Every structure is written in structure tokens, then in C-alpha cells.
Amino acid sequence: MIGRYFTYALISLVLVVVQTKLMRLLTVEGITPDILTIWVVFLALREGQLPASVWGFCIGLLFDLATGNFIGLSALSKTICGFFAGYFYSETKMLQTLASYRFLMVVLFASVIQNTVYFIIYAQGSEIGFLRAIFQVGLATAFYTTTWTLLPMFAFTRRSMR
């Protein structure tokens, strides 16, 4: 279990670096896919609600520290993301969920909630209203992220077919 968690930590670290340094290459119209959200949802579906909340917090905080802006905001939104994604955890149907469209739906659902929380706070005191931020940026990011979830979903589909 410790080894597994160590692997998760290592992957999280790599993904944070990828998210901060490389994902901007995939930006379309200012919208960047959030692979950390996909990772937190994966952890939620694999480990359950409580570990997903803790991993969400740790990954979010790591991302905040890596980017250096608004410490605590990603930690908060990803904690909530992990918590809500954890509702779809099922020990027996874990692989089926990851290998099907349900994975996409969970990512979309968790991403919308996460972005809503994120932009409610982020839009405070700025000229852009938080409703506009949620609908224009939050939803777009959620859909774009869901699109990128197709890659792991296909990987799990192939794995389940073996």
C-alpha cells in the first residue's frame, strides 16, 4: 500500500510538472486541459472518497506552490473534486468505470464542480463576473479536459479487453 501511494505521489509530481510546463502547448483559445483533474478522478474511482479528497488537496497544493499564485485555491477546488468524484467509487466495478464513458462523465461532473468552486473565488474582485467565468472558462475547461480523458479511457478499455 505504501509502495502504491509512493507511486501515486511520484506520478502526481510528474503530472504537476507536466501541467505547469507542457500543457500550455495544448491550449486552445485560452483553454488548457487539466490533467490533474483527470488524475484526481482516477484516484477517486480507484481508491475511494476519503483518499481522493486527501490526494486532491495534496496535488492542488503542490500545483499552487509550483505556480506560485493564489496558494490554496487549487487545493480547495481539487479537494472538492476528489470528494465528489469519490461518490462514483465502486470497488467491484472499478475497471468497468475507468474503461467506459462513465469515466468521462465523472471527469466532466467533477471538473464542473471543481471549476465552479475555483471561479467563484477567482472571479471575486475582478472585472469578469463569476457566472461568465464559470460558463465561459469553467465549462470549456471541463469539456476540453473530458476530451483528453478519452486517452486514459481507451487505455483502460484495451486493458479490460485482455
Partner 1 sequence: MHRFLGLLGLFKEYLVLTVLIVISLVLLSLNDNNQVRAIRSTAVGFVGFMQNALAIIPNVVELKKENEVLRQLNVNLSNEVSLLREARLENLRLREIAGLKEHSSFKLTAGNVIGKSLLLLRNTITLDIGERDGIKADMPVISETGLVGKVIATSEHYSIAQLMQNKDFRASAKIQRTRVDGIIAWGGGDVLRLKNVSKTEDVKAGDIVITSEYSSVFPREIKIGLVSKIEEKPGSLFKEVEVTPSVDFASLEQVFVVTSAPDPERTEIEKKVARTK
DSSP string, 135-160: IIIIHHHHHHHHHHTHHHHHHHHHHH
What is the H or E stretch that residue 86 is in? none
Q: How far is the CB of 121 from partner 1 (least distance, A)?
A: 6
Q: How far apart are CA 79 and CA 77, in angstroms?
A: 5
Q: How far is the CB of 40 from partner 1 (least distance, A)?
A: 13
Q: By C-beta, is 51 or 136 nearer to partner 1? A: 51
Q: How far is the CB of 58 from partner 1 (least distance, A)?
A: 9
Please list every residue from 39 through 98 that binds partner 1, using CB under 8 A.
49-50, 53-54, 56-57, 60-61, 64, 70-73, 75-76, 79-80, 83, 86
- Which x/- pattern over 106-145 shows residues binding partner 1 (rule: CB under 8 A)? ---------------xxxxxx-------------------
Q: Per the structure block, which three cell numbers stand in for 79?
A: 479537494
* CB contact burial 86-120 (16+ within 10 A = b; e otherwise): bebbeeeeeeebbbeeebbebbbbbbbbbbbbbbe
**Residues at the contact surface with partner 1, assessed by CB under 8 A:** 49-50, 53-54, 56-57, 60-61, 64, 70-73, 75-76, 79-80, 83, 86, 121-126
